[in-house]
Chains A and B, each alone.
Chain A
Amino acid sequence: MPWDVLAKTLFIVIVAVAMFAPVVTWVERKQSAVMQDRIGANRADLFGIRVLGLLHPAADVLKLITKEDVVPEGASRVMHMVAPIIAAVAAIISFAVIPYGAEYRFGDSVVNLVAADIDWGLLYIFAVGSIAAYGTVIAGWASNNNWSLLGSLRASAQMISYEVTLGLSVVGIFMVFGTLRLTDMAFAQDATFRLLGFLEAFGWWDPLPAWLGWIRLPTWGILLQPLGFVMFLTAIMAENKRPPFDIPEGESEIVAGYHTEYSGMRFGLFYMAEFIEVIVIAGLVATIFLGGWSIPWLPQATLIGAVTPVFGSGFANLVCMVAHVLTFLMKVVVMIWLQMAVRWTLPRFRYDQVMDLCWKILLPLSLANVFVTGTILLLIRGLG
């Protein structure tokens, strides 16, 4: 039994699912309160202790567990039960390929902080995402309710459409980093490049002022593929079906969409899956576009090299590991904040607007991005 994989899996499950997810439900309430100038979630109290409303997630779980679990008449019992499980499992297993740290040497052993370091990591995420669609689709069908059915029809159309742009929007990243492995992507971003340095390939560098050579930026995906970042974030947020893309549940039109007939912990699983997916998205975007675990302007080798003479190699690696994991978590928190800000800023799209955005704006733009990226890479690297 590979114990290190078990330990990493436990770490991910404990940090992401058991610690982050409940806090994210609190962040959702509190951030909306701050943005809307309200006081916000502060009603749940335990013997008069409120801790900024942080007890609300606990109250939520208590309520969901003790609530009556209703299966509507005429519903398909098995499918009704399986649907939320598909949604939650798909959300959780996406974490397997997201690296939360680099490789570290302790004596002879090498520790790399990712549960499954597979060559096609990003494709794995897409594959899991395409299976996740079934959770929503089956839920609406199994409920024997027309509102639910409408919700799941909307969900299936929306999720298939956005899968296309989701895949195409990161092709530019594949071309720039030359890999699909998420750990390699993070390593590739642990470096810097000269601002406008690519002009050297055409011999246009010399006329530029010398101080330009001093400006070095980290090779983050967001700087190399800014359009890709915007498109990927849009598409993956649409995949998660949270506002402003929440037309499958649009409560002003179709009651609660696909989870109208869900109550108790079955609804709780959908709710949980949504918030876990927020964290998955944050981790994924941080890894692909924000350098993953890497600390900007401080590559791993430099950091370890600076600490090793004083404290020895093992301790240097340990320091580096802790610093990297904390950096990664910080980026994840920033991305969660960004998603929440979007969620509480934009109103829900109309159904045709969601589809137009996907097929008429994002798809052509992502194809153009692939073409332009390819042309530039060809010009810089030559035909060799």
Chain B
Amino acid sequence: MSFDAVLFYLFGALAVGSALAMVLNLRNTVAAAMSLVVTMVALGGIYVLLQAHLVAVIQIMVYGGAIVVLFIFVVMLLNLRSDSFPPGRIRALKLLGSAVGIGALVRFLGALGAHLPEARALPEGFGGYRHMGRALFTDYVLPFEMTSLLLLAAIVGAVILAKRRIGP
């Protein structure tokens, strides 16, 4: 097994393991959020192995860093401790959720096994910021600008919601 393959399985196991730890850990919300961070960073490692360097570093910077810090910020403000959850949650929903998840996974694996694409040589600079930036500002400039418009609307909305309670 090549060094890349070893790293891939390592990061893959880390991502799956910490994702499970996040979902199964109902009692300690901050620990669950930290498991999410580990998942994000492990995914970033897998992206690096796939030569998607920019996506990898954005993954760690934005998802691993900023967004989950905000989650933790909220969790800490609410200060949820292990005793503040009611013991019995809805069993049937849990079972249903697990069944749907496992069903989707089986379906996905079945579909994937049949049509694994051939590995191709990557073009020079693939996945780098030059490649990505050029694509974003030429071929995909409309979706890109639409996204920024959407984000702007979200920012304005957030400001209005936050400011509503304070008088003029």
Please give the residue numbers on chain A whose beta carbons come within 8 Å of chain B beta carbons, in ascending order: 76, 78-79, 118-120, 123-124, 126-127, 129-131, 133-134, 137-138, 140-142, 149, 152-153, 156-157, 159-160, 163, 180
Please give the residue numbers on chain B whose beta carbons come within 8 Å of chain A beta carbons, in ascending order: 28, 30-31, 34, 37, 41, 44, 53-54, 57-58, 60-61, 64-66, 69-70, 72-73, 76-77, 79, 128-129
* Pairwise interchain contact A126-B30, C-beta atoms closer than 8 A: no
* 9 residue pairs from A and B, CB less than 8 Å apart: A118-B53, A120-B128, A130-B64, A131-B41, A133-B65, A138-B30, A142-B30, A156-B73, A163-B66
* Pairwise interchain contact B34-A120, C-beta atoms closer than 8 A: no
Across the interface, name the chain A residue whose C-beta is closest to B30: A141
Complex interface: chain B residues within 8 A of A160 (CB): 66, 69-70
Q: Which of B31, B66, B129 contacts A120 (CB 8 A)?
A: B129
* Pairwise interchain contact B34-A134, C-beta atoms closer than 8 A: yes
Complex interface: chain B residues within 8 A of A163 (CB): 61, 65-66
CB distance from B65 to the nearest CB of A (A): 2
Across the interface, name the chain A residue whose C-beta is closest to B41: A131
Across the interface, name the chain A residue whose C-beta is closest to B75: A141
Q: A79-B31, A120-B53, A127-B57 are known; give 20 further A-B pairs, CB within 8 A.
A: A76-B30, A79-B34, A119-B53, A123-B57, A124-B57, A126-B61, A127-B60, A129-B65, A130-B69, A133-B65, A134-B34, A137-B72, A152-B76, A153-B76, A156-B76, A157-B73, A159-B69, A163-B65, A163-B66, A180-B129
Across the interface, name the chain B residue whose C-beta is closest to A126: B61
Complex interface: chain A residues within 8 A of B30 (CB): 76, 79, 138, 141-142
Bound Cα distance from A129 to B57, whole angstroms: 12
Q: Which of A79, A119, A126, A137 contacts B128 (CB 8 A)?
A: A119
Complex interface: chain B residues within 8 A of A138 (CB): 30, 34, 72
Bound Cα distance from A260 to B65, whole angstroms: 24
* Pairwise interchain contact A127-B61, C-beta atoms closer than 8 A: yes
Complex interface: chain B residues within 8 A of A131 (CB): 37, 41, 60, 64-65
Complex interface: chain A residues within 8 A of B34 (CB): 79, 134, 138
Complex interface: chain A residues within 8 A of B53 (CB): 118-120
CB distance from B21 to the nearest CB of A (A): 12
Bound Cα distance from A127 to B70, whole angstroms: 16
Q: Most A CB atoms within 10 A — which of B54, B76, B77?
A: B76
Bound Cα distance from A124 to B57, whole angstroms: 7
* Pairwise interchain contact B76-A149, C-beta atoms closer than 8 A: yes
Bound Cα distance from A119 to B126, whole angstroms: 12
With A120-B53, A134-B37, A153-B77: A76-B61 Cβ-Cβ less than 8 Å: no
Across the interface, name the chain A residue whose C-beta is closest to B79: A149
Complex interface: chain A residues within 8 A of B54 (CB): 120, 123
Complex interface: chain B residues within 8 A of A152 (CB): 76
* Pairwise interchain contact A123-B79, C-beta atoms closer than 8 A: no
Bound Cα distance from A135 to B69, whole angstroms: 11
Complex interface: chain B residues within 8 A of A149 (CB): 76, 79
* Pairwise interchain contact A130-B61, C-beta atoms closer than 8 A: yes
CB distance from B134 to the nearest CB of A (A): 13
With A127-B61, A133-B65: A76-B76 Cβ-Cβ less than 8 Å: no
Bound Cα distance from A382 to B69, whole angstroms: 42
With A119-B128, A120-B57, A160-B69: A127-B28 Cβ-Cβ less than 8 Å: no
Bound Cα distance from A133 to B54, whole angstroms: 21
Complex interface: chain B residues within 8 A of A129 (CB): 65
CB distance from B86 to the nearest CB of A (A): 21
* Pairwise interchain contact A130-B65, C-beta atoms closer than 8 A: yes
With A119-B128, A141-B30: A156-B72 Cβ-Cβ less than 8 Å: yes
CB distance from A144 to the nearest CB of B (A): 9
Complex interface: chain A residues within 8 A of B77 (CB): 153
Complex interface: chain A residues within 8 A of B72 (CB): 134, 137-138, 141, 156
Across the interface, name the chain A residue whose C-beta is closest to B77: A153
CB distance from B110 to the nearest CB of A (A): 36
Bound Cα distance from A123 to B57, whole angstroms: 7
CB distance from A2 to the nearest CB of B (A): 11
Bound Cα distance from A39 to B96, whole angstroms: 72
Complex interface: chain B residues within 8 A of A118 (CB): 53
Complex interface: chain A residues within 8 A of B31 (CB): 76, 78-79
With A119-B53, A120-B129, A134-B37: A127-B64 Cβ-Cβ less than 8 Å: yes
* Pairwise interchain contact B60-A130, C-beta atoms closer than 8 A: yes
